[in-house]
Structure 1
Amino acid sequence: MPSNLAERIDDDELVDRQIAGIAREINVVAMVGLSPNQDRPSWGVARYLQSQGIRVIPVNPGHAGKSILDELVYADLSSIPADAGVEMVDIFRRSEAVRSIVDEAVAKLSDLRVIWTQLDVRDDEAAALARGRGITVIQDRCPKIEFPRFL
Structure 2
Amino acid sequence: MPIIEDREELREILKRSRTVAVVGISPEEFRPSHFVSETVKRRGFKIYLINPEHEGKEILGEKVLGSLRDVPEKIEILNVFRRPEAVYALAEEAREVGFETFWLQPGTENPEVIEALDREGRVVVPGLCIKTCCMLLLRD
Q: Give the TM-score normalised by structure 1.
A: 0.82
Is structure 2 residue 83 aligned with structure 1 residue 94?
A: yes
Is structure 2 residue 51 aligned with structure 1 residue 64?
A: no
Deviations 1:9-44 (A, max 9, x none): xxx995323211122111101101111111211111
Which one scores higher on RCO, CA 8 angstroms, separation ≥ 6?
2
Match of 1:142 among 126, 129, 136: 129
Bigger helix fraction: 1
Amino acid at match of 2:134: F
The structure whose Rg is larger is: 1
- What is the aligned-residue RMSD (CA, Å)? 1.8
Show structure 2 runs of 5+ residues with no match. none
Show structure 1 runs of 5+ residues with no match. 1-11
Is structure 2 residue 19 aligned with structure 1 residue 28?
A: yes
- Give the conservation status (yes or no) of the 8 Å contact 2:4–2:10: no
Q: Give the TM-score normalised by structure 2.
A: 0.88
Change in CA separation of 1:72 and 1:54 when aligned onto 2, cut-off 3 Å: same
Runs of 4+ with deviation above 3 angstroms: none
Q: Distance in 2 between matches of 1:29 and 1:47?
A: 12
